[in-house]
Structure formats: structure tokens, C-alpha cells
Structure 1
Amino acid sequence: MTSTEKDLEFENLLTYLRQSRGFDFTGYKRSTLMRRVSKRIDLLSIENFVDYLDYLEVHPEEFNYLFNTILINVTAFFRDLSAWEYLAEQILPNLIKNKKTSDPIRIWSAGCASGEEAYTLAILIAEILGVEQFRQRVKIYATDVDEEALSQARLALYSTKDIQTVPDELRQKYFDLVGNRYGFRSDLRRSVIFGRHDLLQDAPISRLDLLVSRNTLMYFNSETQGRILSRFHFGLNYAGYLFLGKAEMLLMYSGLFTPIDLKNRIFTKISSVNMRDRLLVTGNSVYEESSKRLSRQLRLRDMGFDTVSIAQIVIDNTGILVMMSEQARTLFALSIKDLARPFQDLELSYRPIELRSLIERAYTERRPVNLTNVERYLPNSEKQYLDVIITPLQDIDTNLLGVSIAFHDVSRYIKLQEALQRSQQELETANEELQSTNEELETTNEELQSTNEELETTNEELQSTNEELETMNEELQSTNEELQTINHELSNRTSELNNTNTSLISILKSLQSGIVVIDSSFNISIWNYMAEDLWGLRTDEVLGQSIFSLDIGLPVEQLRSSIRESLSKKKQFEEMIIDATNRRGREIKCYVAITLLLGLDIQGVILMMVDVDKVTSMISTQDIKERRQEK
């Protein structure tokens, strides 16, 4: 598998996590994230990200293990520093400004683990209020279900590594050295209250100004997240703030919270919540029974809507798809995963017809918009016809809640109408054909008589055609003889070419120099035996290989520019002496001559290579022989 295919599979996995659980990990470093997910799938002996995505769909409990693997050691002081800086510079000052000087400030750190984020909150607020005001006004409730983590948090002792993310000036101001560990200031520690709390079973802490729950929601499924978020909504004061982790987006709960800064995952409470959401956080039996009755009614309503015989969808006034019937899912290939998605992101919003502008028109005119015979092309090349009705949904106070879109399949009626029109046209055509048939019958007799005459003429033509075929046969025989002659000439030329090649090979072998011929792509086409003797590579090992890819004692890179100049006709001949190492490992001085090989076009370059020392030795020996003969 290529790296591109692997990256694409991984991105699809991240998209699935975002759509199925609402957690966006795209802000995390890709290499680290992929390494941690790969570690998890290796433990399960799964081969790739595609199979792991299938595994997640079948085993939803795997999400917990995956998130634990991804978020190893993620709790820390000032984790995601930019988000804490935004909280300190924009949110906390605004929170304090809207309170009276004597009003208490209540904060809840849900899922606090070993307490680093709770103490980070204490530091930031103490910096704004001052230590004295902090002790008098601030209560930070830090909760978790892990008793071991809470015990560590209550000790408030951290190693040097744990507090390395705390700026030096804050470290000196808020931590005391206890042995080889750092302890949070005891006078401020009293304002941070730790306790065990189950987000699902225990009542939420109330009258909160700020609720911090970073990367805790991702351990729960969508339904449970809704219950927890409703409890968070209940616990916050009017316009209270919710601070989540980097991977948490609240895509499906825009009715409870609205983002102040989505990048840093800071939201504010929306004050108006329906009774269904409030019932999620009540603990007494009356509200529980009301919740069950309401739940049954809602299920009954949903089932009734789901089973209607037409395709119908409902979009709220923020553009989110909130309901769709079974017919709509079947007709437009929608799934449950598409619920809570922006309608504009769905193909249905613009195909088979642009619906977004029509929805705006229905909102503006506050009346249904009807469209008839909308054409929709199916995958089997057939056409479907739909009547579309876009109906604005208004509350009792005439506020627009959203829009309902119904799709009536009228293909059967359109096809029936077309069939009737075709039948009428066929009947009219049949009458015309009957009239013309009578006229044709009258003329047929005349045509038959003329046909007999034509047949007689045709017979004579056939006889002449036969004679022409005999003439063509003779011409073909002569052509065949000419082709045999040409074939004989080609055989003779082939023999001559073979002789020429044999002579060329003999010449190359007789030369006492290494001869290498390379083409215009630097690939070797000739490598004589002296080149083999010099560099230790056989001809069959180098033919077709690039001269620059050879691992020989000749530094071929030094020849690159000269070879390029020869191929570009800047130089037709160049010679040089290069330090090299022959196949026996002996350092030599190699004489290299580079000559341009020309044909109809530039064919390549000839390299002649000679061991200078060897040639010198041979010349000296020859001189000695000649002197002896003279004596």
C-alpha cells in the first residue's frame, strides 16, 4: 500500500470519528496520531485502517480503548496553551466583570484526573483577582470517578517534569518545593475541592460560572453525551461558560450551547431549553415518569413520521437536518449518520434541484413553495419525476422553526401520460401509413415490371464482372512475384548488416582501450571487453543501465557536464585524465576521451578509457624492443 493510500484511509477514519462521535482530531499532529492509532490496531491484529473502521462499527466499546490510546498522558498544567491563554485574556475577565465584588465565583472541573487543570484554573483566577480575593470568593469543584487519581490530586504534589509547562514566575509564586517535588500553595489549595462524581448517576453541581470538561465526553456514546450536556446546561448560570477539549465540537447539541470561540472550544449556555432537555437532569420520580411518557410520545411521533408513504425531511431554522422518513432515506441514500449534519453539506440540497434558495423563498414568503415534474436521473440511466413541496414550519408565536420538504414520486403518472401521447401519435401515424400503403401497392406492380428488366441487365453486368475478376487475378500473380523479389533483396541487406555488425564487434575487441557507447538518455548500449577488464563489470550487467548508476572505480559524476555538453553539440570532442580505481583495487590515472556520436540525429556519446600507466609502460617496453633491434 502506498503512503498516499494509507493517508487517505486514515483521513476516512478521522472523518468517521468526527461524524459518529462528534470528536475532531484533525488538530492533532498527524504522525503522532497515526502512530498511536496504529499501535491500537496492532494489538487487535488488524491489518489496516479500513478494517479497523469496520471493527469500530461492530464493537462500539472499542471507542473507549481507542481514546485512551490516543490521549495517553494528556492531562497537564496549561495543556493546549493557546486555549488557556484565550480563557485567561478573554473569558475570565469578562466573567469577573459581570459579577458583583462580593459575589462568589463557582467553577467545576469535571473529569479532573490528577488535578493539573483544576490547579491551572486556580492560578489564572488568582492572577486576576489577587490571592486574598481568590480565597474569599472562589470555589473550584474538581471531580472524577477514579479514586486513585483523586488521591493524587488531593496531595497536590508534582514532579519537575509535571510542572515544566508552568511558566517560571508562576511556578515560584504558586508552588513550594517539598523534598524533590513541588506542592501547590496550601492557602489556595483549600479553595479547590476534590470529590468523586459520576457524570451519569450523580446530580450536577449547580450555579456554576464556568464548567471545564476537557476530552471527557469522548468516552461516551451520542445518547449519553446528550444526557451529560443537558446536566452541564442545567448546572451553569445564565450565560455561563463551557470549556471543552480540542477534539470536542458539540455538533449535535447546538440547542444547548453556542460557540464563543470554536477553535479553542469555548461555548456559552443558551438560556431557552425545551422540557425534553430539562427532564434529562431531573432526579425525582415525577419528572422521570413525565420523561418516560414524553419519550414514548416522541418515539410514537417519530415512528409515525418515519412510516409515511412519501419521502419527507425536516430542517431546523439553523439549516440542520433533524428528521427524515424511511422513504427519504431509501430514495436519496441517506443514513442515520446524516442527521444533525448541515443540510447544505448533503447532495440532496442541490440535486436533483437547488433547494437552498427555495427554502429561503419559503421562509421569506411564509407559504409553501410547490414544484412539479422535477427530473431526477437515476444510476440506471432512467429518469424519475418528483413533485416537491417546501412548507415553512411556524411556532404558535409565528416564529419560524424550520421547514418540511416532501417529495412525491409522480414518475408513474408522467410515464402513463407520455405513453398515452405516444399511443395517440402512433394512431395518427398508422392512418397516414394506411393511406400511403394503398398508393404504394399501386406503384408496386409497375416496379415489379421494371424489376424484371433490371434483372436482365444485372445478369449481363455479372458476366462482365467475372471477366474483370479474371484480369485482377492475373495482376495479383504478378504482384506476388514482385513481393518475392523485394523479400530476396531484404534478405541480402540483412546479411550485409550482420557482416557489418560482426566487423564492428571485431574492431571494438581489437582496440586496446575501454570503449563505452551511451545513448542520449545516458544508458549504455556498447561495453567492450577492455571496459570489462578495467572496471570488473560484464557487458550483460551494464547494458541498458545508466552510466551514472554504475558502482565502479571511475568517478562518473565528473563526466556528467562534459557528456551533456557533447549531447548538446557544444563540444564534439573532449579529453581528460581522472583519478580512478580499477577492478583490482589499484589506483590509476585514467585517460578519458569523449566523442560525439552522430547519425541522422545525435545518437549518443563514445567514451574511450585507457589506463595511462599501462599505456606508458607498453610504450616504454616497445621503445626497448626497437632499440634492441637497432643494435
Structure 2
Amino acid sequence: MSDNTIPPADDQGAEFERLLQYLKDARRFDFTGYKRTSLMRRVNHQMQAVQVSSYEEYQDYLELHPDEFTSLFNTMLINVTSFFRDTEAWAHLRGEILPALLERKGAGPIRIWSAGCATGEEAYSLAICLAEELGVEQVRRRVKIYATDVDEEALAEARAATFHERLLRNVPRDLVEKYFENSGQRYTFTKDLRRSVIFGRNDLVQDAPISHIDLLLCRNTLMYFNAETQAGIIHRLHFALENSGVLFLGKAEMLLTHGSVFTPVDLKRRFFRKVVTGGRPERTMLPGPGPVLAAVEGSDYHGQVRQEALNSSPVAQIVLDAESRVLLSNQRASALFGLTTREVGRPLQDLEVSYRPVELRSHLKQAVSDKRPVWVRDVEWTRNGSTVWLDIQLVPLLDRGGLLLGTSLLFTDVSRYRQLQTELEYANRQLETAYEELQSTNEELETTNEELQSTVEELETTNEELQSTNEELETMNEELQSMNDELQFSNTELRERTSEVSSLNGFMEMVLTTLEAGIAVVDHDLQVQVWNSGAEELWGLRQDETVGRHLLNLDIGLPVEHLRPLIRQALGETGERASAVLDAVNRRGRSIRVAVTVSALHQPDSRTAGTLVVMTTVE
């Protein structure tokens, strides 16, 4: 195509989404949770490589060229990693995190997971650190390092455990000699430690996490996903870790909005500890007509009737268990507060409804301690440009023995009655000037509070934008690093090939110089390609005077017009060698007889590349 530019994003968004869906259906690679900016940039790069200008055309190209999937996935899945990446963080891991983990585990088994391991350098770095702390034999007996990724090619390379010398630049020399076997410019990880590292495919978005993990590395992987997908992955990682487990992230990932599941151990170096959310098992999520879910063993007719009755109630209701975790909610509450299936089982204090439209945690504590209903009336809540007024009732649920079973939160919409009350107050304000002043002061205070809240929200939004920008920059940095590695590899191969060609040229030059006979190589157009020193000695023309010129136009003492039939015979279908003895005059002006032999030069595919002309003096 004459123009390989990619159309504007607003004209191709739907096409790009269809392409992602096609990749998911055809090859089971789900990229729908990845950030669109970096993902589109990488796909556009691959499209330009195959000279395709639209996503729709590229989808057709993939259907016609199945091999292109491999190149596309290699471009989309940026496998940038290295041994001991971010040296300061790894030093903290060896100096603080691992000793504490080993002391806590005693003589017990240790389970470590490297998620998004790419070609395995960080998994092997972990094995080296543990071998330095425990010894190789103890690592083999006690440690299992699970290394996973979605890229099968990267996993195959990781399993081979063989690395080029340049990839070990971050590994101290003594550790290289101790844990790697040298074979030229390639280094192979020692087999004794290799058995402790288990590689396998795992999609963090879809597949179940590995459980009972003591240390989990997921470095510069979350930054490729959008916020919603990140949240799902983080909860999987939380499930995977033991209660005292530690999460090690990349320098572009901070978990600022996930304080309910992970707390920083060292924020600068990106170490986080799991927050234990409770000892009860996860509840079973039962699908329903809306976002209403219940934690029950099964479902019967009466239970369904109770559930539908709850859903049909005009009052928004949320039911908490004895530990103030969300047990269920009806459709009215789900619509009012945006509750989804993910909120079931979470503590109320972690949800927005606990403090908006009003702070409920203190009232909930009062209702539970007093074991009697608590009312919070006339709560004003502005959302989506409209204002509603709520009466909130917190009712403790007790069994016959007075034991607390849970708490029911009822949100009654009293906006209509509030409107009538406002109209009445307006009439009263006409009569009571003092009340108007008091109300005005109250409104000013409420406005100030709203402004402060708005400022806080703006600051939070700015922080999230900065974090997103940081992740995008780190993504671009890794893309550039990946391209740089590819260029270095290509440059190394080019130097090796150039060296081989130079060596061959030198060898050929030595051979041609050694021969006493005059040698000339000509192509199909009879242009001289090679002119050796024997030919220079015989006819007195240097190589720079002959190469590139037509053989039959050379002014030498040989009757070159007699060479044409010999060359034609050698280049004929039979390819027979042709020879003749001609009278000539050498460079010194002496008359000589020259035996000329013309042979065809054949390429590996049997095609002729030209002819070899050998000129020898006959006594």
C-alpha cells in the first residue's frame, strides 16, 4: 500500500474492539482488560510491519496468515525482564524480606510465585537468593518457585534456562561462576537449582491463582491492565497469599487504592503485606435477576419467595452479618448505591455507602452495642445532579436468645415529604427572620463541606491520573527496552555474518593471488567481477582498471573477440567447458601463446551466475 498510516482512534475504536474479540475467540487470548493506549500502539506497530492500514484489514490478514499470530502476540506481550531488576529493591528483599520469611517458616516448606515471569530471569534470581540463604540442598528439599506467564514462547525459553552473556550483566561475577555453566557466550542455570523452579501457563485475568503462597512477585505486570481488571487481579493475588504473605511489585505499581487488601511494608521499594479480611470461607455467589446475591447452601421455593419479596420492597435494604460484612442487598439498594456481586462478603467500612450519603459506622456501632434500632433522619444526598432525602434505620437482628445475628440497614426515600416540609419552612421563614439567618449559616457550612469534599475528590483524581501516566511511561520504557534488545541481537548477528564474509573474501583473495594463471570472473553481461594478480602480471591492467568493465572492451594483448563463442558455449544449456589456444602479446610486448579455458559458475539452485576465465601461458 502507498499509505501505511493508521486512521484516527475515533474512527477505529469499534474495529479495534472487534479485533480483540476475534483474538479471544480464535486463540483464547483475552486482551480486553488491557489499557487501550499502549495496546493499540503495539498493534499499530505490527500492522505497519505487514503494511496493513486498518484493524479490519489486519483481522482478514490474520485469518489468511495464521503464522502472524505468533508475531502479534510477541509484540503485544512485552517480555521485558532481567536478573535482579531494580538492584535496590532486590537488596532489600535479600536483607529484610527473605530473612523474616525464613525465620517465620522455620523448617517448613516455602512456596513462591513469580506471576508474569516472561523468560524466567526473576524466578531464577529468587532461586539464587534462597540458595545463598539456605544452601542448594535445602532449596531443593523445601522450596517450590512457581513461575507463570501467558506467553508459551517465553515459557519455553525460560524452561531452557540458557542465557546470553549480556543478559547476566546485573549478576555479580561470583554468582555467575557459582550458579551458571559456561558454554561460549551462553550460560546455563545449574540443574540442581533448576528443579526447584516450575514453569506453567497462567492467565491472571481468567485462571485460578496458585494458593498458599509465602512470597509473590508480580512486577510491572499490573500496569498493562485497566483499573477494573487490575482490581480483579489484585483480589486473586490476595487470595493466593498466606495471611503473612508478602507481595513484591514493580516500580510503576503502588496499590494506593487497594489499602483494604494490601498494606505497604516498604512503599519505596514496592513491598506489600496481605491484609487479613476475616477467617470465614468465601461465600457462594448465586446468580439472580439483578445484582442481589445471597450466601446459602442451596435454593428452595420459600427461599426464592423471600428473596423476591426483598427485591420488590420499595425501601432500599442492605443486610450485614455479625461481623458487619455485606450479606445481601435488594434491587433498590443496588440501584441506589451501585452495589454489585463484588461487594458481597466485603466489610461495610470498605464500601462508599458506609460514609456517603452519611457516616454510618458510628450509628452501626451504637445499634449493635445497644441492641436496638437507631434512626438517622433527613439525610440529604445529591447524586447525578438530583437531590434525594433519606431516613436511615439500623435494626440489629437477634435470635431468640438475644444473640446478634446481623444488622439490617433500611434507606427510606422521604424526598416527597421533605419537599412539603421545605415549602412549609419557606412560609415560616417569611415570618421568622432569625430562623432564616440560622438556615443561611447552615447552608454556608454545608457548601464549605461540599467544596472541601470536591477538593479531596479532585486531588484523588489527579493522583490517579499521575499514577496512570507513570504506568504508561513505564510501559513505553519497557517497549523501547524490548526493541533495543532485538536491535542488539540483530547487530550481533550482523557482525558475525560480516566477519564470516570478510574471512571468506580474504580466503578467496589469498587463493586467487596464489594462482599463477590469469583469472577473470565475468557475469552474464560480461562485466568483469574478479581480476587476479596473475591477470595483472599477464596483461598489465590493475584490478581497479578492469572490475566493472565489459570484458570484450578491455585493451589487452589477448584477442578478446575470440572469447565470445567460448563464453556463449559455457553459458549454453549443456554448460560445457570451452577452451582455445590464442596468439597474444603480454604486457612486456612479447608474443606468447595463451591457453584460455571458460567454465560456467553454478549457484546452489543450478542457475548460472557467470563464467570463470582461466588464462595460462603455453610454452
**TM-score, scaled relative to structure 1:** 0.42
Tell which structure's C-alpha radius of gyration is larger.
Answer: 1
